[in-house]
Amino acid sequence: MVTTVSFKGFGGVRLEAEVDGDVDDPAVLLLHGAGQTRHVWREVAEALVQSGRHVVSLDLRGHGGSEWPADGSYELSDHVEDLRAVLAQMASRPVIVAATLGGWIATIALANDPAALAAALVLVDMPVETDPDVARQVADRLRDRHDPGARQWDERTLQSSGIAGVAGTLIEVAPSLTLPTLVLRGALSWIQRSARSVAFDAALPNVELVEVADADLLVVTDRTEAFLAYLLDFLDRRQPRAASEFRAGSDARTLRDAMGCFATGITVVTALTSYDVPIGLTANSFTSVSLSPPLLLVCIANGAGSAPTLREASHFGVNVLQTGQQQASSRFAGKGEDRFAGTAWAPGETGVPLLNASLISFECRRHAVHEGGDHFILVGEVVRAQFEPRRDPLLYFRGKYRRLHFG
């Protein structure tokens, strides 16, 4: 059943959306273009729900049921921050399907860490560069398509600044859009593919390009069935409804991907060699074990260069990293460099190396070592811990660094 919900946009602007489908199904967020409202997606939304998708169809600020700011705040940056705010309020990462202006908004909003915000991106008839004459024709056509008395959108949205340099911005951010992307255009589009459009397409790392035959600018309404066929095929391949599965004997990568869905903190485990040389490595397999006695454990790969020292060391340190230590995490995960040369550290009371400014630093006495397949489990008894609760943890999820979001 279709329900109407509200999101809090940038600056507190109220954004209205229609929601349909089972909330546990994969999510799709629909973004219309300038001079449209969420109702342009009605037929598409119904088909998506029938295919087993949870659909959120959003009205941009100044459009439809969303707030029309009295001060006319319709800068492109306002729309971008609106979208980022909406994504932060959604329960899961959606596939974003965005038309024209909505495509600009989505592309720029996802420029920083796209995989943390969305599962995939579909850009529908998105022009890469602006042409004032074409924009005026489009605006006139859109104005003719709806009842002026209905006041479906604020005409001040067409006067917003921030779009003059949009082509350069889009091409600049395109290489960072590593998530699956479908670029879909009408073959008869009013907005022809320019050299910059070609450059934008070529810069997308994970892109599929489709031109819909006999479709004009508004491909969603001009060739709805053809558009849906391409969209549903993309969703079925890139965001399947069935959960991925690992069984004994399957590719180990599948199990690794499953384990990667468990968000963790990141630690650097340190010790001294028998010659008092500091060693260390990055590890995220870490947990507390017991409070009495105070025990923790870390899992160390048998093939790690520091593994022999950590197996034998009488004491070791576990440094839980904070958001400002991503570079240290990468350094201690890499090879071929002096990890401590570029890292501020000092010996703890037991002599083990402790990284400065860590969220937590544990000094441990070796309690036990257990074999665990291609890793060994190092259990330590905590003899000292120092921590800084005002810092935020550096997180790791699905192969990428993450940060806490406070909604």
User: Domain of 380: which CATH number?
Assistant: 2.30.110.10
- Per-residue pLDDT tens digits for 241-273: 876 777 777 777 778 878 888 999 999 999 999
Same domain, 110 and 209: yes
For 4-9, which contacts have Cβ atoms below 8 Å and span 24 or more sequence positions? 4/65, 5/56, 7/58, 7/85, 7/86, 7/89, 8/85, 8/89, 9/61, 9/66, 9/67, 9/81, 9/82, 9/85, 9/86
**In this prediction, what percent of the chain has a pLDDT beyond 90?**
64
Same domain, 233 and 262: no
Decide if 243 is inside a domain. no
Same domain, 230 and 284: no
- CB-count exposure of residue 46 (10 Å: 0-12, 13-18, 19+): middle
- Per-residue pLDDT tens digits for 320-355: 999 999 999 999 998 877 899 889 999 999 999 999
Same domain, 95 and 148: yes
Please check whether residue 343 is in contact with residue 325, taking contact to mean a CB–CB distance below 8 angstroms: no
Decide if 372 is inside a domain. yes
Same domain, 268 and 229: no
Whether the predicted pLDDT of 148 surpasses 50: no
Lowest mean pLDDT among 13-17, 108-112, 320-324, 363-367: 108-112
The token duo for 122 is 């579909």
Cα–Cα distance list, 136 to 61, 140, 220 (Å): 21, 6, 20
The token duo for 407 is 């909604």
Same domain, 278 and 215: no
Place of tokens 């010996």: 347
Exposed e or buried b per residue across 338-352, where buried means at least 16 C-beta atoms within 10 angstroms of its C-beta = ebbeebebeebebeb
| Domain enclosing residue 294, as ranges | 258-402
Decide if 71 is inside a domain. yes
Lowest mean pLDDT among 86-90, 197-201, 244-248: 244-248
| pLDDT for the residue numbered 149 | 42
Decide if 249 is inside a domain. no
Same domain, 214 and 324: no
Overall residue count recorded for the chain in this entry: 407
Decide if 407 is inside a domain. no
Torsion sign over Cα 243, 232, 169, 37: negative
Same domain, 39 and 184: yes
Same domain, 190 and 102: yes
> What three-state secondary structure class fits 27?
strand
- 178, 203, 238: which is the final residue of a domain? 238
- 193, 210, 238: which is the final residue of a domain? 238
Whole-angstrom Cα Rg for the chain = 26
CA atoms of 97 and 320, how far apart (whole Å):
38
The token duo for 356 is 């400065």
Secondary structure (H, E, C), 335-362: CCCCCCCCCCEEECCCCCEEECCCCEEE
Decide if 253 is inside a domain. no
User: Domain of 66: which CATH number?
Assistant: 3.40.50.1820
Please check whether residue 233 is in contact with residue 210, taking contact to mean a CB–CB distance below 8 angstroms: no
Decide if 252 is inside a domain. no
Same domain, 104 and 132: yes
Cα–Cα distance list, 404 to 170, 371, 391 (Å): 27, 33, 11
- 238, 272, 297: which is the final residue of a domain? 238
CA atoms of 228 and 230, how far apart (whole Å):
5
pTM (2 d.p.): 0.71
Average pLDDT over residues 274-287: 95
Decide if 288 is inside a domain. yes
Please check whether residue 401 is in contact with residue 328, taking contact to mean a CB–CB distance below 8 angstroms: no
Query: Cα 35 to the chain's mean position, in Å?
Result: 28
Same domain, 224 and 339: no
Same domain, 355 and 291: yes
Q: Which residue has the higher pLDDT, 209 or 127?
A: 209
Considering its fold, how many domains does the chain have in total? Answer: 2
